[in-house]
Structure 1
Amino acid sequence: MNRLSRETSPYLRQHADNPVDWFPWGSEALHLAKDQDRPILLSIGYAACHWCHVMAHESFEDVTVAQRMNELFVNIKVDREERPDLDKVYQKAHQLLSRRPGGWPLTLFLNPGTLLPFFCGTYFPPQARYGLPGFYDLLPQVADHFRAHRDDLVRNDDALMHALNREEQPITTGMLQAALLVRTRSAALEYFDAINGGFGGAPKFPHVSLIDFLLGQWLAGGAQDRALATAIRKTLDGMADGGIYDHLGGGFYRYTVDAEWNIPHFEKMLYDNGALLSLYTRAAQGQIGEKYYRVVHETAAWVMTEMQSPDGGYYSSLDADSEGIEGLFYRWNRAEPRKLLSDEAYRLCAAYYGLDQTPNFEEHWHLRVSMPLEKAAASCAMSLQTAEETLVQARQILQHYREQRTRPGLDNKILTAWNALMIGGMAVAGRVCRRRDYIESAERAFDFIHTALVRDGLLYASSTAGVSRFEAYLDDYAFLIEAGLELVQAHWSSVRFEWLIALADKLLEAFEDKEAGGFYFTSHNHERVIVRSKSLIDEAMISGNAAAASTLLKLGHVLGEPRYLAAAERTLKALPEDAANAPDRYAGMMTALGLWLYPPETIIIRSPYREDIDGWMARIDKEYRANRICIAIPDDETALPEQLKNRNGVGRTVAYVCRGTECLAPLTDLQELADLLRK
């Protein structure tokens, strides 16, 4: 066993029995490389990554390859989910050096003196194929280049460091107008795949922050924009009906390899599902499609059943592979469903899921909706109601059978940022669907983070087997504040609200760039890496800066706190010029811009009656507005900030409605409130 056996990360521990002399990232490895003047081979991946497993099996488990790695390099393995600070920097370096996007596994060779890469790639096969050099033969070539071209390395380091530190000019303040929101809409529609839904071609990702922005714009415009409605609905339908969704167990896979949403990479990530849970709930609430509630309930059930730890936190991911084969757990041969289901149920499922068509995944079938249920029912001479009931029973039978297979591996790390995204999703779903169990699930996870991931007043980013590590990053703070605000809208708690205010204060104190605006990814006291990242662009998740700006605007208006509003404004003014040319890549920041241009509507309800609180909230939650915040506080709560303490019920149910800094007279009649909101 190598040094990784002492690590907490399940991904690093997967490599603990490699013959490679792996180090975790840290002073021991970095000092050794520098003292011996040996280049560093840095490998970054994560537990659910299919091609990480492939490269590990082909190269890192091979004694001959490992011997060469050990002789020539100091080898460092990093879990990108524990160290997103390192991953962000080295992904950017890879893109600058190779002129193409990176991915995982990320393979870099670093100058030990500067920790800057001089050669890099992603997956390398053991022998040359796919147009890629063989890893075994590549190793001595890289080592020889390091020895023979030291002057070139110095020039390379200088140029790369300059490129990494280059900052774009901020957008002109005059651009921060409604016209930029319109431009974002237009850019997204140009990128929209009108045939399959979604944005761009293969591989196809959900782009949640972009759809969320478009949904907010559609509703803000009075729901008259047909092109926007079509893009949103076709994309959500494509994902819900496609192979990116697990039609038996619930939840979404990370992305599909094709443009038609058919065949995914089969890993299930917590962050995707948290964001998609929020999105589908809001789309159903916003009357884009009532049928999306099925996706919401199935995904929430999967989360509570498979992804929540006994202590309350949510696990990170499910692997793409089982028994070493990608997608083996999820695929079907023709004989299995035919044997398990009645003739009538099989005919319906064959028509609905395409089991009567050509296999779509390695001579097997991966389930996706092949035709509308109405058409499948008609082909089987069934009524729609009978078909719906038959399909529910058939799915239960197939899922029970599937559960007997060898399950994909579980990464049981509990990550603060990813938990926050799921807490927000469960809170939104619980509030809108009036499901107390969803809200309680979110509360358990939030309280777990508050107790298990806070030490000596500091928030930490990761917990495994009771051990919390790595001081929290921007995403941890920004997403957690946002989740906390969703949670107190679902069910008030003075303790939780007090903590999210403390988190917001810490965010400003420890992460803000006071001079240029925006927030760094690492705190001012964090371990220094080669550059300090400050990105406003959305990646697989919404950017931490966008989440921070939106949440500070909302919280600032709820509390009447100008510090939060000013920090959000400075973040918007830090948008780079690129945002004017490709605003759809900054969809999260555009959502924040909308909140800045059109201040949020805050509704504070105070009441001594639990049934009134439930009834008034249920009425408000019938419709979705991206810029609406509604918090219901029982009258007996007294430990409140001044802005909320002054809004009390005085023995009756009262609603205080404000838009930005303009507040109306208190309302004591629910119908009057409903009429006002409708206007």
Structure 2
Amino acid sequence: YYDVTPQGNFEGKNILHRPLPDEAVAGRLGIDVATLRATIERAKTKLYAHRAKRVPPLTDTKVLAAWNGLTISAFARGAFVLDVPRYRERAIRAGRFLLDRMYAGGRLMRSFKDGAAKQAGFLNDYVFVAEAFLDLYEVTFEPAWLTKAIALQDVLEAHFRDAKGGGWFLTSDEHESLLFREKPAYDGAIPSGNAAIVLNLLRLYEFTTEDRYRQRAEETLGFLSGMLEQSPTSLPRALCGLDFLLDRAKEIVLVEPAGGGDLEPFLAQLRSRFLPNRILVAVREGKPLEALAATVPLVAGKIAQEGQVTAYVCEAGRCELPTTDPAIFVRQLEAQKKKSSSPSGQ
């Protein structure tokens, strides 16, 4: 059942694993599957008791902001694309943990263990958590996530940016004094902060229309340009940002009537299409829209026509005719997509 042999199944040792399904093992032993499984359950109890006598391996129980940021993004994007509510809830819960336990006084901490947050955040912590909050906004449409992403980028601007040489330092100017402040410029097991921040900046530019974000993105790509020319595959996340910059990013706004409406017919169409270079905003008419317009000017003046959810597909702030019909919405997305993929659209 576990492929245990006298000679061992790996370098003279036995590593327990299941190479065959229960039905095949039961057939070889001449017993029914129920009997096999009952026997294995009894054996597991004895096996666990014996293994408990060993010194257990050390476990790493700290919570890292950067890794949680990556995980939140994965859950948030998975929730949107696959329409799995539990992924959305996990992303929200982890995001709230970071805000409640690892963010204070406008600063993000790097790790959390034994009930306490420790060590000032590094570049990757701020960048990945800001990205996570942008992703959370686009799956919850709660403006607080967008506001926090902007706040994290403000800290990066004030304390991590290399104004003279371009790019972003690994540590802030509030960290202890170092002989040399590194600026990571290659993607490894996880993306580098300098590569990942490009897409954050461009998304913030599309949301806010503040040109400083676009300028910083272009500055960062300039800093990375040598590596991108010599070894572009070492910076795949930066290439995603470059693609966003060269494309005509889609700005999609869904406006609900004041009494509420069903966004799902429009969201379902977005889920079924690969549109990486876009931002997505959904807001209800009235005070919520007026409040959001202070941060996302694109929504100003937009209405829910005829008391129905209304979609606006835009590029550079210029929108197609608003529509309440998901079929027309799809045609507008496809038309915009064709324009952005044509030579004249670059």
- Shorter-chain TM-score tier: 0.7 to 0.9
Determine the C-alpha separation between the residues in 2 that align with 1:645 and 1:661: 10
Instruction: Give the distance between the partners of 2:328 and 2:251, measured in 1 at CA.
Output: 16
Name the counterpart of 1:413.
62
Instruction: Name the CA distance, whole Å, in 1 between partners of 2:207 and 2:11.
Output: 51
> In the alignment, is residue 570 of structure 1 matched against residue 219 of structure 2?
yes
Contact kept? 1:601, 1:659, Cα under 8 Å:
yes
1:624 and 1:574 mapped to 2: Cα distance? 29
| Residues 645, 601 of structure 1: alpha-carbon distance in 2 compared, 3 angstrom cutoff | closer
- Cα separation, 2, equivalents of 1:366 and 1:595: 47
2:8 pairs with 1:334:
no
Give the Cα–Cα distance (whole angstroms) in 2 for the partners of residues 471 and 419 of structure 1.
Answer: 16
Of 297, 308, 318, the residue aligned with 1:643 is 297
Gap change, CA 1:408 and 1:573, over 3 Å in 2:
same
- Distance (whole Å) between structure 2 residues aligned to residue 485 and residue 589 of structure 1: 17
Report the equivalent of 1:673: 329
Which residue matches 1:634? Answer: 284
SS in 2 for 1:411: coil
* Distance of aligned partners of 1:582 and 1:645 in 2 relative to their CA distance in 1, 3 Å threshold: closer
Per the TM alignment, residue 542 of structure 1 is displaced from its structure 2 partner at its CA by 0.4
- Correspondence for 2:229: 580
* CA–CA separation in structure 2 for the residues paired with 1:403 and 1:675: 59
Give the Cα–Cα distance (whole angstroms) in 1 for the partners of residues 193 and 217 of structure 2: 12
Q: Work out whether residues 250 and 279 of structure 2, in 8 Å CA contact, stay in contact via their aligned partners in 1.
A: yes
2:275 is aligned to 625
Q: Which residue of 1 aligns with 2:341?
A: none
Are residue 663 (structure 1) and residue 323 (structure 2) matched? no
Q: Is the 8 A contact 2:2 2:16 kept in 1?
A: no
Unaligned runs of 5+ in 2: 28-33, 336-346
Report the counterpart of residue 614 of structure 1 in structure 2: 264
Output the CA distance in 1 between the equivalents of 2:281 and 2:160.
28
C-alpha change, 1:578 and 1:495, in structure 2 (3 Å) is closer
Conserved 8 A contact 2:72-2:95: yes
Aligned residue identity for 1:559: T
Give 1:598 shift.
1.1
Q: SS at the partner of 1:612?
A: coil
Seen in structure 2, the aligned counterparts of structure 1 residues 668 and 526 have a Cα distance that, compared at 3 Å, is same
Structure 1 residue corresponding to 2:91, chosen from 442, 459, 465 = 442
Matched, 1:429 2:78: yes
AA aligned opposite 1:643:
P
Superposition deviation, residue 540 in structure 1 = 1.7
Distance 1:359 1:574 in 2: 51
Deviation at 1:475, TM superposition (A): 0.7
What amino acid maps onto 2:239 in structure 1? M
Q: Structure 1 residues 403 and 417, CA, compared in 2 at 3 Å: closer, same or farther?
A: farther
Larger mean Cα displacement after TM superposition, 585-594 or 401-410 = 401-410
1:599-649 deviation digits (Å, cap 9, x = unpaired): 422212121376621332122112223213323233362431251541443
CA contact (8 A) 1:536 1:589 kept: no
Tell me what 1:278 maps to. none
Q: What is the number of residues matched between the two proteins?
A: 310
Structure 2 CA distance for partners of 1:642 and 1:603, relative to 1, 3 Å: closer
Aligned partners of 1:673 and 1:625: how far apart in 2? 14
CA distance in 2, matches of 1:661, 1:642: 11
Q: Kindly state the Cα deviation for residue 403 of structure 1 after the two structures are TM-superposed.
A: 8.4
Query: 1:673 deviation in Å?
Result: 0.9
Deviation at 1:524, TM superposition (A): 2.0
| TM-superposition CA deviations, 1:399-458 (whole Å, max 9, x none) | x98988667543221111111001111111112222212111111111111121122222
CA distance in 1, matches of 2:285, 2:235: 41
- d(CA) in 1 for partners of 2:252 and 2:133? 17
Determine the C-alpha separation between the residues in 1 that align with 2:110 and 2:134.
Answer: 19
CA distance in 1 between counterparts of 2:150 and 2:207 reads 11
Q: What is the CA–CA distance in structure 2 between the aligned matches of 1:477 and 1:571, rounded to whole Å? A: 16
Aligned-residue offset at 1:661: 4.7
CA contact (8 A) 1:617 1:632 kept: no
Contact 1:599 1:659 in 2 (8 A): yes
Equivalences for residues 127-138 of structure 1 within 5 A: none
Aligned to 1:573, the other structure's residue is in SS state helix
- SS of residue in 2 equivalent to 1:574: helix
1:208 matched to which residue of 2? none
> For 1:496 and 1:511, how far apart are their aligned partners in 2?
22
Preserved contact between residue 360 and residue 366 of structure 1 (Cα < 8 Å): no
**Which one is further off, 419-428 or 495-504?**
495-504
Contact (CA 8 Å) 1:606, 1:634: kept in 2 or not?
yes
Q: 1:511 aligns with which of 160, 172, 197?
A: 160
Q: Output the CA distance in 1 between the equivalents of 2:227 and 2:144.
A: 41
Percent of aligned pairs with the same amino acid:
29
Rate the CA distance shift 1:643–1:530 in 2: closer, same or farther, 3 A.
same
CA distance in 1, matches of 2:144, 2:137: 10
Which amino acid is the alignment partner of residue 75 of structure 2? M
Tell me how far apart the structure 1 counterparts of residues 90 and 308 of structure 2 sit (CA, whole Å): 31
On the 8 A contact 1:481/1:504 being kept in 2, the answer is yes
2:176 paired residue among 502, 527, 533: 527
Q: Are the equivalent residues in 2 in contact too, given 1:420–1:476 (CA < 8 A)? A: yes
Given that residues 474 and 521 in structure 1 are in contact (C-alpha distance below 8 angstroms), is that contact kept between their aligned partners in structure 2? yes
Which residue is 2:202 aligned to? 553
- Tell me the CA shift for residue 511 of structure 1: 1.2
Please list every run of 5 or more consecutive structure 1 residues that lacks an aligned counterpart in the other structure: 1-331, 336-354, 382-389
- Contact 1:602 1:659 (8 Å CA) reproduced: yes
Q: Give the Cα–Cα distance (whole angstroms) in 2 for the partners of residues 657 and 362 of structure 1.
A: 63
Tell me the TM-score normalised to structure 2 length.
0.78
- Of 242, 252, 255, the residue aligned with 1:593 is 242
Match for 1:544 among 183, 193, 200? 193
Provide TM-score, normalisation by structure 1. 0.42
